Amino acid sequence: MITLTQIRERLIEEINNSGMTRKEIATKLGITSQTVSGYAYGKKMPALDTFANLCKVLDVDPAEILGTNE
For the stretch 14-70, pLDDT in tens is 999 999 999 999 999 999 999 999 999 999 999 999 999 999 999 999 999 999 986
Dihedral class, residue 67 (left if φ above 0, else alpha if ψ from -120 to 50, else beta) = left
Query: What pLDDT shows up at residue 70?
Result: 66
Domain 4-59 has CATH 1.10.260: yes
**Which ranges constitute the DSSP H helices of the chain?**
4-16, 22-29, 33-40, 48-58, 62-66
SS3 43: coil
